[in-house]
Chains A and B, each alone.
Chain A
Amino acid sequence: MMKPVTGKEFFELMSLAVSAVNGCEMCVNAHEDSLIKLGTTEERIFDAVRIASLVTATGKIIF
């Protein structure tokens, strides 16, 4: 996407979270590389993946 409303960095972060949940190693690596190039901190990446895993777990248990 050329100009995401949420900003390139956050859009990549969301994409990484979705890729992690979908279990696509290739996509995770690609989005992670983009994020590192954009100067994202490791902590932001870890937190995005943490939130993704917790939301998925909540969905699995409750529904």
Chain B
Amino acid sequence: MNETTEVIQEILESLGLDKNYRTDSLILLETGESKYVRDFKLNFTSTLTSQFLNNKECGLIGLSIAVNNNNKALTNFFTAYAEKEGASAAEIAEAVGVLHCWLLTMFSIVSAILRKRKNTARYRPAYGCS
């Protein structure tokens, strides 16, 4: 077992996954003995600590992003982490509720309506002439 495999297994275990779990990207990292895996592990560990945000806040932000990305394993991990750091069920529910960008959704709806109106206006004379 090489060093990269050990680091990958540590990351998977910290996420509560089976250490033999592999995806295409993990296999590529493992076979190439990527030197960046250790950096990746350090970066992931650093997501759970911040000088300006407390651990509960870090967990809740991680949870909102994991839910936004439809990532079940990370959602479970950050839910457990936030609970461990003292987040209430209501706070967790609120973090889960920040699913998408409200303004982006509104902008998409308004632009879709405007596009539809514009298209209708453009094609009306053609239908009208017949």
**How many residues on A have C-beta within 8 angstroms of the other chain's C-beta atoms?**
35
Kindly supply a per-residue 1/0 record for chain B positions 56-90, scoring 1 wherever the CB is within 8 Å of any chain A CB and 0 otherwise. Answer: 01101110111011010110001000000000101
User: Quick check: A14 and B61 within 8 Å, CB to CB?
Assistant: yes
Which of A23-63 touch B at CB < 8 Å? 24, 26-27, 30, 41, 43-44, 47-48, 50-52, 54-63
With a cutoff of 8 Å between Cβ atoms, the chain B residues found around residue A60 in the complex are: 25
With a cutoff of 8 Å between Cβ atoms, the chain A residues found around residue B15 in the complex are: 62
Chain A interface (Cβ < 8 Å from any Cβ of B): 4-6, 10-11, 13-15, 17-19, 21-22, 24, 26-27, 30, 41, 43-44, 47-48, 50-52, 54-63
**How many residues on B have C-beta within 8 angstroms of the other chain's C-beta atoms?**
45
**In whole Å, how far is A60's beta carbon from the nearest beta carbon of chain B?**
8
With contact pairs A13-B61, A14-B64, A14-B98 given, residues A24 and B91 touching in the complex (Cβ less than 8 Å) = no
Candidate in B15, B25, B50 with the most chain A CB atoms within 10 angstroms = B50
Q: List 13 A-B contacts (CB under 8 A).
A: A5-B94, A14-B95, A15-B102, A17-B61, A18-B101, A43-B52, A50-B50, A51-B47, A51-B61, A51-B62, A54-B44, A59-B69, A63-B73
With a cutoff of 8 Å between Cβ atoms, the chain A residues found around residue B129 in the complex are: none
